[in-house]
Amino acid sequence: MIAAKSVKPALQLAYVKLMMDVIGRGLVMASQVDEEVKQEVAKFPDHFTLSMKVFPHGPAFIARVTESKHLELVPDLDIKPDLTITFKHLNHAFLVFSFQESTAQAFANDRMIADGDISYAIRLVRCLNKMEALILPKLVAELAVKEYPSNLSLKEKLTGAAGIYLKVAQSYFKRSA
């Protein structure tokens, strides 16, 4: 594994920025494709906003729950999000996004702060875990999530991943068009 401190800060920043964008888009698309993520998102209030960011002004994404109970990315908010997950340092985000440390382990190691209702933070982590279990190869996903879903069949993984990847790719093409 690559130690976070051995990677130059500019490369860490570029990698974390890319991963933050992919994770934000992946989460939005998983809320449209995967039944388990759909059910979790449906439990958030309408117009609930969440964000993930790197302290103090690092890479970030902001998402909002729509009336149809899906997530959508929003470019900016005039108000404070209902839930913000903040990595305390770029190195901490790099550890998580390079799959050297799971999200649960990062929380346990006090590398992240949840600002908002803890039950919503737990729900968000469940959504992230399911999305990562679907889109990442099993060996990598097992490093990324606290517990890899034992009931995730290969068919469900492949169809879920294909649906998420397709929608993420489409979102990049729509943005550039």
* Model pLDDT for residues 58-99, shown as the tens digit of each residue: 999 999 999 999 999 999 888 899 999 999 999 999 999 998
174 falls within a domain: no
DSSP letter for 111, please. -
**More confident call, 40 vs 143:** 40
What CA–CA distance (Å, rounded) separates 24 from 71? 10
163 falls within a domain: yes
CATH number at residue 102: 3.30.1050.10
88 falls within a domain: yes
User: CA separation (Å) from 6 to 10, 59, 94, 99, 101?
Assistant: 12, 20, 11, 16, 16
Question: How many domains does the chain contain in total?
Answer: 1
59 falls within a domain: yes
175 falls within a domain: no
Predicted TM-score of the model (pTM): 0.86
* Band (1; pLDDT cuts 50, 70, 90): low
Q: Which domain holds residue 107?
A: 4-167
172 falls within a domain: no
157 falls within a domain: yes
Q: Which of 15, 85, 20, 88 is nearest to 52 (CA)?
A: 85
149 falls within a domain: yes
46 CB burial (10 A radius; 0-12, 13-18, 19+): exposed
- Inform me whether the pLDDT recorded for 177 exceeds 70: no
